Amino acid sequence: MSSVPKRYFGVASATIGTMRLAGQMMSMAIATQVLHILMGGSKINPSNHALFITGTRIIFVVFAVLCVAGVFASLARGKRDKTGSKSGNLDFQQRIFYHFDFL
């Protein structure tokens, strides 16, 4: 919210809410699809616990990769200062430290 003027807080808040909900729906769709590919239409019971655990591990790996991609996308965006301009000509390592306010 700090990157938008106060008069656009409502629009920014609505956009954030919409993106969060879309992300939740996409994550449930991905998780359901992976489990369906591995287990088909069968119910979870002791005979197919191994497939369920395998599917859960695959889901965790997929979402870990997506999280890492999100971190790099956020770092590539750069940080804006109080005037609204980007954080200048920082290289990647400086941008990481600047992003996490270690500088």
pLDDT tens digit sequence for 19-63: 999 999 999 999 999 999 999 888 888 998 999 999 999 999 999
pLDDT at 59: 96
Q: Which residue has better confidence, 75 or 38?
A: 38
Predicted pLDDT at 49: 92
Instruction: Look up the pTM and report it.
Output: 0.65
What percent of the chain clears pLDDT 90, i.e. is strictly above it?
Answer: 46
Query: If you average pLDDT over every residue of the chain, what do you get?
Result: 82
Map 30-98 to HEC letters. Answer: HHHHHHHHHHCCCCCCHHHHHHHHHHHHHHHHHHHHHHHHHHHHHHHHCCECCCCCECCCCCHHHHHHH
Which residues, including other chains, have CB under 8 Å from residue 95's CB and lie 6 or more apart?
A: 75, 78, 79, 87
Domain ranges of the chain: 6-99
User: What do you get for the CA distance between the two ends of the chain, in Å?
Assistant: 22
